Amino acid sequence: MDSQENLEPNDNDNELYEHHKFVASKGQEPLRVDKFLMNFIENATRNKIQKAAKSGHIWVNDAIVKQNYKVRAQDEVKVMFEHPPYEFLLVPEDIPLDIVYEDDALLVVNKPAGMVVHPGHGNYSGTLINALVFHIENLPENSNERPGLVHRIDKDTSGLLVIAKTEQAMTHLSKQFFDKTTEREYVALVWGDMENDSGTIEGHLARHPKNRLQMHVFPEGDQGKEAVTHYKVLERLGYVTLVSCKLETGRTHQIRVHLKYIGHTLFNDERYGGDKALKGTTFTKYKQFVDNTFKVLPRQALHAKTLGFVHPVTKEKMRFDTEIPADMANCIEKWRGYSNH
């Protein structure tokens, strides 16, 4: 989310807490505040935003506004709620974890698709952090109030994450990610037959200027942060391709956006338009086949397969590898069968 959460209650209203704050861009055309917030807040429903407006919990430039207020360039928009932001609501939950490795300094988990990594708007429970807080006492804090987290992957991406259990481990691991010395390999199924067997995608990433829930490539580097993805074709399956992606940087949605940028959107990636047949024939049977594969894999086809780093205490090189999960493997097998016929 492109939100700036403030953990302190608002002094002007005893029981209100600031949850989100956005500053409209210089190019913002007049837009109703409820529609503006729908573009910014992940998992927000119009009903919830309208309720906030009716309760007097939407502020623009420090003044309460109604839902039909038109947001203009440089307006500062805040959403306030009576309960504190989610950082205050980190409730330990006894959720099973697939722990690949654990010692006194860290643990490596294989996150299933569908599990949110940390609490946020619309996901205050059932997250990996809720499970970790139950499993481990006194997880170290980081600057984002997300204890133990060194990096993260999207809700519908499966795969490996390393969690720090001590302040020393947090500092050491975070520096490795910052210095780009970790090894991170993902396996992805993408639309189309890739032209090259391997390559590197470069292009700065920032929020999409119109759809704030998407990231966007700025090839000139005039906006956003540097992002570099190395890819290699693993298997060509006709209208889709199985690829390996190695991250040099770790930006939000990096693989999803970079692959779309070169014309190969992730299979069944709803947010970036991969949830419809982007390649193939017009035959009804083909459409039925694609719909069937969407049901087999009801999420984007992305798995964080390999993770490597230096242990913060022993200085030993650690490397972990996981199997592609069943839903993704079944989908690949269906495409394998289709391409062979």
Q: Inter-axis angle of helices 33-40 and 46-54, to 10 degrees?
A: 130
Coil/strand/helix, residue 337: helix
Q: What pLDDT does residue 43 have?
A: 63
| In the block, residue with structure tokens 């307006």 | 75
CATH fold label, 183-340: Pseudouridine synthase (3.30.2350)
| Structural tokens at position 113 | 């698709």
Q: What pLDDT does residue 9 have?
A: 25
Dist CA 21 CA 59 (whole Å): 9
Give φ, ψ of 259 to 5 degrees: -65, -40
Q: What pLDDT does residue 245 have?
A: 98
State the DSSP code for 172. Answer: H
Q: Contact at 8 Å (CB) between 107 and 160?
A: no
Tell me whether residue 154 is one of the annotated catalytic residues.
Answer: yes
Mean pLDDT per 10-residue section of the chain, whose length is 341 residues: 24 48 88 87 74 85 89 89 58 93 97 88 79 87 72 95 95 94 97 97 90 87 92 98 96 96 98 96 95 98 98 98 98 96 81
Q: Name the β-bridge partners of 17.
A: 9, 81
Give φ, ψ of 31 to 5 degrees: -150, 135
Dist CA 215 CA 253 (whole Å): 7
Dist CA 277 CA 239 (whole Å): 9
Q: What pLDDT does residue 251 have?
A: 92
| In the block, residue with structure tokens 């200085």 | 315
The whole model's pTM is what?
Answer: 0.77
Closest-CA residue to 131 (of 104, 157, 151, 110): 110
| Structural tokens at position 120 | 């946020």
Say what the alpha-carbon torsion angle 244, 304, 226, 222 is, to the nearest 10 degrees. Answer: 90
| Structural tokens at position 277 | 């047949």
Q: What pLDDT does residue 8 have?
A: 25
Give φ, ψ of 330 to 5 degrees: -65, -40
| Structural tokens at position 274 | 């991969």
Q: What pLDDT does residue 10 have?
A: 27
Q: Where in the chain is the domain with CATH 3.30.2350.10?
A: 87-178, 183-340
Please state the CATH superfamily assignment of the domain spanning residues 87-178 in this structure: Pseudouridine synthase (3.30.2350.10)
Q: What pLDDT does residue 78 have?
A: 87
Strands, E assignment, 34-122:
58-60, 63-64, 70-71, 76-81, 99-102, 106-111
| Structural tokens at position 157 | 């991406």
The pairing of strands 240-247 and 183-191 is: antiparallel
Residues 6+ apart with CB under 8 A from 332: 189, 235, 237, 242, 324
Closest-CA residue to 10 (of 73, 64, 68): 64
Strands, E assignment, the chain:
17-23, 31-32, 58-60, 63-64, 70-71, 76-81, 99-102, 106-111, 158-164, 183-191, 198-202, 204-207, 215-218, 228-237, 240-247, 302-310, 317-321
CA 156 from centroid of its chain's CA atoms: 8
Q: Say which of 154, 156, 269, 327 is annotated catalytic.
A: 154
What is the per-residue burial (b if ≥16 Cβ within 10 Å, else e) of 224-235?
A: beebbbebebee
Please state the CATH superfamily assignment of the domain spanning residues 17-84 in this structure: RNA-binding S4 domain (3.10.290.10)
Q: Where in the chain is the domain with CATH 3.10.290.10?
A: 17-84
Q: What pLDDT does residue 84 have?
A: 53
